[in-house]
Structure 1
């Protein structure tokens, strides 16, 4: 069986040392799990353009895409998801949950208390590595 392969982007938004995560609607694919928000890359879009558009559609905020963190490929059974994770910098707007049932701002160490979509875990690992490297190089 040829499974559909979706290329999606996810934004890791940081504010005052905490990271934004959102819970998928219970009736959605991967329902009830947490994720870094984002969505599908449309034809003709760069990953950065897609991420900025998706975060505006899902959260009503304007962002600028920053550093790439990680790619992950995960077979969910009915589809294969290739997820590209980026740091995202919030520019303006107040968060409105248009595509999620709950949100949270959590510290890096608290991310382990939430059950994420499988494809998000490599992004969490890359975020840990990035923060560790950044704190090690800042003197």
Structure 2
């Protein structure tokens, strides 16, 4: 992971939000389309924060657009900054609560429900690993 102090100043920095959606003790991972940036990798779904939006508003909008579900954003889990070469992604991960809707994949090729201990068996986008770590810590402190 590259920290911002060493990231090139001429690269765009993009604020992105990710929802760690829990349902019955499992968490949703979504697989990016093969032709997309980071194609074939798994991620917590979400997307870019648009001008005038809070991260929480952006996450709820993105999950509606990508998965056709209504959610409520909960606690912040972790931030991750990753230099992908052509851009720097600042990812903010939040716990997200599913409220309604039937899962439909509009921006992903697949989705799975996994226990937190199984997440690292999937090849995740690099920026998502700190969120997985934070989720593991959070779940350990609950026990």
Q: For this structure pair, what is the TM-score category when the shorter chain's length is used for normalisation?
A: over 0.9
* Residue 128 (structure 1) shift: 0.1
Q: Which residue of 1 aligns with 2:85?
A: 77
Structure 2 gaps of 5+ residues are 1-7
Which aligned pairs between 1:1-139 and structure 2 lie closer than 5 A? 2-135=10-143
* Residue 134 (structure 1) shift: 1.4
* Residue 112 (structure 1) shift: 1.3
* Residue 70 (structure 1) shift: 0.2
Structure 1 gaps of 5+ residues are none
Distance 2:35 2:120 in 1: 23
| Cα RMSD after superposing both structures | 0.7
* Residue 7 (structure 1) shift: 0.2
What secondary structure sits across from 1:68 in the alignment? Answer: strand
Distance 1:51 1:134 in 2: 25
